Amino acid sequence: MKSSLVRRGGLLAAVVASVVLAGAAPASAAPGDGSAYGVKVDVKLLGQNAVKAGPFAAANTAGPTSSSLAKVDLPGVLTTGVINAEAKRDENSGAVTAKASTADVGLPLLKAALGTVGIKLVEAVCTATQKGVEGSTKLVGANLGSVGAVDAAPAANTQIKVGLGALNVATIVLNEQIENKDGSLTVNAVHVKLLGEGLKALGSGDVIVSSATCGPAAPPMPLASGAGLWIGLGLLGAVAVPVGTRILRRRSARA
């Protein structure tokens, strides 16, 4: 009987210990992904060769989690200063933050329609927590030529039509927010869409400046990690003590 109790006690303790230690393992990496980049270009301007470049300064929660680039110079299309991007996950809470900032942005591809277009800083931020996913855009010193100044924090999916004479040749989307099928959110701070290759058109394709994608948040670290680990060990002790006491009592009874 004594050996039976020992085996039962040892088995129960092993089961509890395995549950505690399993809970102490890091949370799963999926979901909880995030990514960001500074610039991506895929355009065919009228009378010129196609330009496909980027994403520049790409970062991802899987690594590298941060990236920087001194400048981008695509003649006739886009110029930038310093680009910084990061995508990080908090292993305890499961929260994900992705951010991209691009300085000194120029868009010469829009010069024929708008004149000189320049933005001192273009930033996209995406944050995923257990409460949900949200994004935002910040523009510093934005001047869109003949369109003029725009809000520093434009509303989601703000659209600006770009005309050349009577022809609509492009659309500029500020703080573009795309809800993806997997539950993640993509924030494109500035998205220039060229609409065609007609005789009076600028060209076709897309230019994206500062993009961040995140979410949904990963599950938070299980209770048995950190403080929860000590609670689990306390439960293990609570189970082991009665088993040991019962064995000692049987020994005393036989003595």
In this predicted structure, what is the pLDDT of residue 198? 65
Full DSSP string of 27-86: PPSSS--EEEEEEEEEEEETTS--EEEEEES-EETTS-SEEEES-EEETTTEEES-EEEE
105-123 core/surface letters (b: 16 or more CB in 10 A; e: else): bbbebbeebbeebebebbb
Give the Cα separation of 53 and 205 in Å (integer).
Answer: 12
Q: Which pLDDT value is given to residue 107? A: 97
From residue 50, alpha-carbon distances to 7, 47, 64 in Å are 74, 9, 29
The span from the CA of 167 to the CA of 108, in Å, is: 19
Residue 242 or residue 167, greater confidence:
167
pLDDT for the residue 67:
98
| Residue bearing tokens 């301007």 | 45
Q: Which residue has the higher pLDDT, 242 or 113?
A: 113
Check pLDDT > 70 for residue 245: no
Of 16-25, 30-39, 40-49, the one with minimum mean pLDDT is: 16-25
**Contact predicate 58/84, CB 8 Å:** no
CA–CA gap between residue 191 and residue 3 (Å, rounded): 73
C-alpha torsion sign, points 207, 125, 128, 37: positive
Q: Which bin fits 215, alpha (ψ -120 to 50), beta or left (φ > 0)?
A: left
- The mean pLDDT of 225-250, rounded to a whole number, is 49
**Number of neighbours of residue 70 by Cβ within 10 angstroms:** 9
pLDDT in tens, 68-108: 999 999 999 999 999 999 999 999 999 999 999 999 999 99
pLDDT at 236: 47
pLDDT, tens digit, 9 for 90 and up, residues 125-151: 999 999 999 999 999 999 999 999 899
Return the domain boundaries, the chain. Answer: 2-25+222-254, 34-214
**What pLDDT, on the 0 to 100 scale, is given for residue 12?**
43
**Rounded to an integer, what distance in angstroms lies between the CA atom of residue 171 and that of residue 133?**
26
**Residue 205, pLDDT above cutoff 80:** yes
As a whole number, mean pLDDT of residues 196-222 equals: 88
Predicted TM-score of the model (pTM)? 0.77
CA proximity to 127, closest of 99, 157, 160, 91: 99
